[in-house]
Structure 1
Amino acid sequence: MVERPVVTPSAGISPVQQMLASGTGALLTSVFALAADSASWSGVIRPSKWKCFLYCNGLMDHIYVCQNGASCTSWYKTPTHFSGTLDAFVKITRHEGVRSLWSGLPPTLVMAVPATVIYFTCYDQLRDLLCYGMGFQGNYIPLVAGGLARLGAVSVISPLELVRTKMQSRKLTYSELRVCIRSSVAQDGWLSLWRGWGPTVLRDVPFSALYWFNYELVKAQLCDQYDVSQATFSISFTAGAISGAVAAIMTLPFDVVKTRRQIQLGEMETLGVPVKNPTSTLHIMRGIWAESGYRGLFAGFLPRVIKVAPACAVMISTYEFGKTFFQKMNLDREQQAC
């Protein structure tokens, strides 16, 4: 069998078109993820002490804040018993309307869309630069490009974390939100905008490196198996789901640490819960190990895989479909011009 190149260039597509394709994918993934997540949250027994919920599907974080029951959506406050996620989905839709499944969508989009646009566009640009601009070859190219792209996206988008948690805490006008952020910066300094950057990088950069490495590899193998030169929608969807599941399993301990850190940040920013001592990633991991052993670091194994795999599949297949659409559109324009 002739060896197939692991990556292919994004020929005939401008960065703006890549951004449009990734932005569309981010919107669809956010809508899909929040609907599923609302049902997942509501299917859990909710102690009164729970104020912040965090959901991550490998591409974006969704945080939901409930302050003293006042800002909770109806599905949280309803005492209805749910036997599972599917049962919760049906009952929420029947009794509270379809819109309740997407509570918290605007704050999610504040970070999800720009982060995903930067991340996916930078990946394609870096991959093509390393492969076709600098002449590097090998399966490690997606690994390097994916990690660097996610590092850049996390660093740029991290300040929006504060904006999102403020938006989730209470309804603020844009002018009030600006004043609120300025006061936070004046009190804690500019570095406070990057609070939680470390745990995010430790979770997302390895995840992205593993994800893109496996995605390009599985996609190439599936293209060989079905004897096609370009990945179809189903091939991209399958490769995205498989690579997302593998990356989710291998980076689960970092996700557990990030979740605990993010909930701590959400309660501190929105609920005024004081943090006595800033906790490092290593300190949190040691605490989890002391409490629950290695099982604590791999808590939520199955739910994470179930959430990550479909989200990654939806995002990458939509993104690849968008790129194919723009490629054909640009090619048709060139042919008409001739």
Structure 2
Amino acid sequence: MALRQESEKPKEFWVLGDAFGEEMAMPKEFEVEKCAAATPAAFELRLPDVGRAMRNIVKSREVGEFLSGALAGAMTKAVLAPLETIRTRMIVGVGSKRIVGSFLEIIEENGWQGLWAGNTINMLRIIPTQAIELGTFECVSRTVASAQEKWKDKGGPKVQVGHLNIELPFPWISPVAVGGAAAGVVSTLLCHPLEVIKDRLTVNREAYPTICLAFRRIYRDDGVGGLYAGFCPTLIGMLPYSTCYYFMYEKVKSSYCQVKKKKNLNRAELLMIGAISGLTASTISFPLEVARKRLMVGKMLGECPANMAAALAEIIQEEGFQGLYRGWGASCLKVMPSSGITWMFYEAWKEFLLLDKFKQ
């Protein structure tokens, strides 16, 4: 194929001719440099900067909140495992009805390590649970708040019923309450089997000596349903608790900041506000928690109520209404410091990981 330039063609075009006399005009940009054949082609292979990509991922808001929740949950449970053990035994009716008596029974039966019975599964449970819960709460509450800001300008979503256009009252819904409810639902769906295994290990160490054995026995005896024993009452109990818990924390925190005219709170103040929110939420939803625990370990003890209503009725019949709050004192001793320490650690880790980049 011959390459020649014709004077009648514009200078920016070249003409290609072949053996059959056919010609085709080509843009001059496609001219092949003569020296190109003599010069070997140079290729530069660049590997992806994995380190920078990881740093960018960790610095993102969602991942930072997820990791902060995981670290806060792990540190809190490591400190408060003995109170969790005593609380679980008292709620399900195993051993003494008093905190001190239950404490002494555990030490007499299993030694000091008995106070940390089920702590391994508790740690495995709380790390993903706390990470999912706090991450979901932050993400959902931000999304709802952002949507409400748009609805203020453009109007909220509407539903047409016949000739009527009804505007849904979403602007009056609390983003914090919605985020708290979503956090409870999502974390329960994903992490409930770990809660079941943890309670079995805590209540009957002889029958369930290890996590793997507990998992196999529950799955062998009851199938997948056994791993989700008490799921419905857990979800029912989690909704009011989680909604109230996060709502109380954010409202008390914002009110306290307004009164004290502060933008940031110190660790002691976060500890106090977290403890108050945990106490309030636990007190409101505690009867549902008692019924939930009864359902989760009832089959193991040979006395399993049919449903949540039956569990509540059984408790009232046997112990009266005060039975609905059996273990409430131990629960408060566990929930208050747990909630306070969790929020304290969470805010500290979030501040460290996100470097105040997204703090409002």
Q: TM-score with structure 1 length normalisation?
A: 0.68
Where does 1:237-248 land on structure 2 (aligned, <5 Å)? 237-248=271-282
- For the structure 1 residues 280 and 125, does the alpha-carbon distance in structure 2 shift closer, same or farther, using more than 3 Å as the test? same
User: Does 2:236 match 1:202?
Assistant: yes
User: Does 2:185 match 1:151?
Assistant: yes
User: Does 2:350 match 1:323?
Assistant: yes
Q: Is this contact kept in 2: 1:13–1:326, CA < 8 A?
A: no
Match 2:260 to one of 219, 226, 230: 226
Q: Is this contact kept in 1: 2:218–2:227, CA < 8 A?
A: no
Deviation at 1:327, TM superposition (A): 2.6
2:64 match: 17
Highest RCO, 1 vs 2 (Cα 8 Å, sep ≥ 6):
1
The residue type paired with residue 119 of structure 1 is E
User: Does 2:331 match 1:299?
Assistant: no
Deviation at 1:241, TM superposition (A): 0.8
| SS of alignment partner, residue 288 of structure 1 | helix
Q: Deviations over 1:2-55 (max 9, x none)?
A: xxxxxxxxxx7522211111111111111121144567799x9xxxx94899x9
1:113 match: 127
**Structure 1 unaligned regions, length at least 5:** 1-11, 56-63, 65-72, 79-91, 332-338
Separation (CA, whole Å) in 1 of partners of 2:130 and 2:289: 18
Separation (CA, whole Å) in 1 of partners of 2:246 and 2:302: 39
| Identity over aligned pairs, percent | 20
Q: Deviations over 1:65-87 (max 9, x none)?
A: xxxxxxxx972427xxxxxxxxx
- CA-based RMSD of the aligned residues comes to 3.5
Separation (CA, whole Å) in 2 of partners of 1:195 and 1:52: 25
User: Does 2:314 match 1:287?
Assistant: yes
User: Does 2:137 match 1:123?
Assistant: yes
Separation (CA, whole Å) in 2 of partners of 1:224 and 1:232: 15
Separation (CA, whole Å) in 1 of partners of 2:147 and 2:277: 26
- For the structure 1 residues 318 and 154, does the alpha-carbon distance in structure 2 shift closer, same or farther, using more than 3 Å as the test? same
Deviation at 1:154, TM superposition (A): 0.5
Separation (CA, whole Å) in 1 of partners of 2:196 and 2:143: 33
Q: Is this contact kept in 2: 1:110–1:164, CA < 8 A?
A: no
Match 1:183 to one of 199, 214, 220: 220
Q: TM-score with structure 2 length normalisation?
A: 0.64
Separation (CA, whole Å) in 2 of partners of 1:102 and 1:132: 43
Q: Deviations over 1:278-300 (max 9, x none)?
A: 52000111112222332222333
How many residues align? The count is 270
Q: Is this contact kept in 2: 1:13–1:323, CA < 8 A?
A: no
Q: Deviations over 1:200-230 (max 9, x none)?
A: 1122221111111111110001111221223
**Structure 2 unaligned regions, length at least 5:** 1-58, 150-169
| SS of alignment partner, residue 158 of structure 1 | helix
Separation (CA, whole Å) in 2 of partners of 1:76 and 1:262: 26
- For the structure 1 residues 288 and 181, does the alpha-carbon distance in structure 2 shift closer, same or farther, using more than 3 Å as the test? closer
2:175 match: 141
Q: Is this contact kept in 2: 1:26–1:113, CA < 8 A?
A: yes
The residue type paired with residue 119 of structure 2 is L
Q: Is the deviation greater in 157-166 or in 251-260?
A: 157-166
| SS of alignment partner, residue 279 of structure 1 | coil
